Chains A and B, each alone.
Chain A
Amino acid sequence: MLPYILLSPLVVFIGALSFVPTAVTTVEAFFRVMPLDPPTRFIGLGNFRALFADSAITTSWVNTAVYVVVGVVLSVVLGTAIAVALKRRFRMRGVILALVILPWALPAVVEAVIWSWIYNPTFGVMNSVLHSAHVIGGYHLWLGLDRWLTILLIEIVQVWQITPLSAIIILAALQSIPLDLYEAARVDGAGPVQSFWRISLPLIRPALAICTVEALVLSLNIFDQVYVLNGIAPLGSSVMLQTYVTAFQNLNFGGGYALSLLMTLATALLSMAALALLYRRAEAV
């Protein structure tokens, strides 16, 4: 009996607040659900057809794809660079590691408000620095004009937050590599760059796979940074923002469910694909 007693609170929580809601989303995606305009009735693929006809939503799909690519590439590359730099023991390393983790620990909304001030068109420090360095001739309005620049700058805010996650995971993987491998490579005349490509990289592949999946899921879900830095304008909108607008501002729950179901499936498929790809290669080496 004991195991079931120990597990019962978990089962109640996960059952009632994860599995039941997921089932509701899956079923009601095929229903017309408008709380202010009943009745609720089955409409087959009606919600999905409406999604594909809505340009704000199709725009947000492409935007989210760009958020994901930028977020995964930047956070994994930067995380690897930071991990390599912090791999060897040196004085103050513990303190530096603690400071590097800081952006991960702070609320994304607060960080986005800080970055909106950094990007500010009239008094922002980014304008000030780039202007002093003669990179730009005059102050720019960075957000809301060019679609791809807006997405890149918003995703940088998320990358700033999630890179510590990659750095810590990759650092742990690097530290688990036996030092005699590097010693042997050095004796054979390999330089640090060669050691990185031939020894470190193949052996940290599982960690890279995990970082990729974490960054993938986080950027597929990007909301806070977009809400603060882009608002509900279609230009830089993400799917999560459109889901929020569809369900809680337009009060079209059915449309929100359909969008949610598509994104849940996309998240599952993409993360499994990333894991399968990266993990298999790791075993092959």
Chain B
Amino acid sequence: MAAAGSSGRTARALTRVVAGPAGRALSGRPARALGRIVTIALILLWSLFPIYWALNTSLSTLSGADSAPAHYFPSPLVATSYRAVFGIGGAGYGISGQLGRSLLNSAIESGAAMILTVVIAIFAAYAFARLQFRFKRAIFASVLATLLLPAYATLIPLYRIMASLGLVNTYIAVVLVYVSGFLPLAIWILYNYFNSIPRELEEAAFVDGASPMRTLLRVVIPVARPGIAAAAIIAFLLGWAQFLFPLILTSDLSTQPVTVIVAALNQQRIVPFTLLMACGVLAAAVPGVLALVLNRYIVQGITAGSVK
């Protein structure tokens, strides 16, 4: 039955496609389907071409990349740029040690910022969503107001605070600044998520004699896992992308994240684009793969953080 049904549908679709150009000209469904395919193709071209171009160049030889007109596929396809970046032969321009270490710094800084942000935001968002206390509205409003606070407002004082504490060029300075910047958004995402959880769940735990803290840990957090994942992934991606704050807060390879190193390599004007693109691809690989795998949570976080 199912097979017959689907072959019937296929036959009808075929008739439509065949009849399309001759019959109903441009008003029929095939024309609309074609329009949709072209639109989607254009959207994908716009979204992905620069990324493809970086990959293409990073896998080309120098003479293959430096050519006019451009080669749209690597010819020949080589991994020499990646080997040079990791110090396995070829002119590496001293990149090898720098890139690996800066990737590690990025991972430590954005990872630590993510964990701290999420832990602090869970407690705060739970208090705002479920508990009653004095000055609640005022505190909540002033935390959310910092969502609109631009980097301008805090840039120079944060540098001076860290300098006076002797924390410039330490992981601690970078992580503290990231956490203070990401908290409002994480709280907003989690606050909305907690509010979407039916209160009956917690009330049942209360009736059984559990304290609010125990209810949070044993009932709310397990149920809120998707919301927590959304806040965490967004905090990590924001941390990985930071440039201006680490530019002023870090001064050497012991703490500089990969964004600062890529910008510095680009500024030297002697590193060939094949190597620069290999560095760019490696710097974008972690957030890129995370975004592709966890995009469901990103979409959820962005919509929770904006609509309402």
A and B: interacting chains:
yes
Measuring CB to CB, which residues of chain A are less than 8 angstroms from any residue of chain B? 2-4, 6-7, 9-11, 13-14, 16-22, 24-25, 28, 78, 82, 85-86, 90, 96-111, 113-118, 120, 122-125, 127-129, 131-132, 139, 160, 164-165, 168-169, 172-173, 206-207, 210, 213-214, 217, 220-221, 223-224, 227-228, 231, 240, 243-244, 247-248, 253, 256-257, 259-261, 263-264, 267-268, 271
B307 nearest CB across to chain A (Å)? 6
**Bound-complex Cα distance A77 to B187 (A):** 29
Q: Contact at A24–B295, with CB atoms within 8 Å?
A: no
Q: Contact at B54–A223, with CB atoms within 8 Å?
A: no
A245 nearest CB across to chain B (Å)? 12
**Bound-complex Cα distance A227 to B259 (A):** 12
* Chain A residues, Cβ within 8 Å of B276: 113, 117
B179 nearest CB across to chain A (Å)? 6
**Bound-complex Cα distance A103 to B68 (A):** 27
From known contacts A85-B36, A114-B277, A257-B156, infer whether A99 and B287 are also in contact, taking CB-CB under 8 Å. Answer: no
Q: Contact at B156–A25, with CB atoms within 8 Å?
A: yes
The 8 Å CB contact of A264, one of B53, B149, B158, is B149
Q: Contact at B149–A22, with CB atoms within 8 Å?
A: yes
From known contacts A96-B40, A107-B284, infer whether A17 and B212 are also in contact, taking CB-CB under 8 Å. Answer: no
From known contacts A99-B47, A227-B263, infer whether A253 and B156 are also in contact, taking CB-CB under 8 Å. Answer: yes
Q: Contact at A98–B153, with CB atoms within 8 Å?
A: no
* Chain A residues, Cβ within 8 Å of B180: 13-14, 16-18
From known contacts A6-B123, A123-B70, infer whether A105 and B53 are also in contact, taking CB-CB under 8 Å. Answer: no
**Bound-complex Cα distance A233 to B174 (A):** 28
Task: Mark interface residues in B126-145 (1 if CB within 8 Å of A CB, else 0).
Answer: 11000111001001001100
Q: Contact at B143–A10, with CB atoms within 8 Å?
A: yes
Q: Contact at B307–A173, with CB atoms within 8 Å?
A: yes
For the side of the interface on B, what is the size category? 35 or more
The 8 Å CB contact of A7, one of B127, B176, B240, B247, is B127
Of B151, B161, B248, B283, which is in contact with the most chain A CB atoms at under 10 Å from its CB? B151
Q: Contact at A105–B266, with CB atoms within 8 Å?
A: no
Q: Contact at B155–A260, with CB atoms within 8 Å?
A: yes
* Chain A residues, Cβ within 8 Å of B148: 213, 217, 267-268, 271
From known contacts A7-B139, A243-B155, infer whether A13 and B120 are also in contact, taking CB-CB under 8 Å. Answer: yes
* Chain B residues, Cβ within 8 Å of A217: 148, 150
Q: Contact at B154–A3, with CB atoms within 8 Å?
A: no
Q: Contact at A105–B131, with CB atoms within 8 Å?
A: no
